[in-house]
Amino acid sequence: MRKTTLLNSGISEVISRMGHTDGLAIGDCGLPIPEGTKRLDIALIKNVPGFIDTLKAILTELEIEEVEIAKETAEVSPHIYEEIKKSIGDVKITLISHEQLKEKLKDCKAVIRTGEQTPYANVILRSGVVF
């Protein structure tokens, strides 16, 4: 059995296959996931699991060097934006439009769909390196 905190085998598999600058998205339950992009659906019921809890769990395994967030997140759901900033520390944040974020999902290794129902609770994590 794994010693690390992340127990979801699908998410762990995607992370283990990621290289430098690859993208992994975490989204609310309404985020449209493009056809052909791997969907890791962990949504159970309304707000379970939540976006921030999922982000924190992913960050226990994935080294990141940048996050891409929709400008709309900061404008419409500032509490989510502030929690993202708090969770990632001094990692670079790139603000893009929500439409750009949805387009970039096509190039992500996977999109993790949570049960979150807060508008614009979405992020793309760009993999860093541990050396």
Q: Which residues are annotated as a binding site for substrate?
A: 28, 98, 120-122
Q: Which residue in this structure is represented by tokens 């996931």?
A: 33
Return binding residues. Answer: 28, 98, 120-122
Smallest CA-to-CA distance from 69 within 29, 39, 37, 28 is with 28
Burial of 81 (0-12, 13-18, 19+ CB in 10 A): buried
Residue among 20, 39, 79, 92 flagged as catalytic: 20
Smallest Cα–Cα separation from 125: which of 8, 18, 53? 18
**pTM for the full predicted model:** 0.96
- Which pLDDT tens digits describe the chain residue by residue (131 residues)? 667 889 999 999 999 999 999 999 999 999 999 999 999 999 999 999 999 999 999 999 999 999 999 999 999 999 999 999 999 999 999 999 999 999 999 999 999 999 999 999 999 999 999 99
Per-domain residue ranges of the chain: 20-127
- Told to judge if 79 belongs to the known catalytic residues of this protein, a careful annotator would answer no
Exposure letters 44-72 (e unless 16+ CB within 10 A, then b): eeebebbbbebbebbbebbebebbbbbeb
Fold category of 20-127 in CATH: RbsD-like fold (3.40.1650)
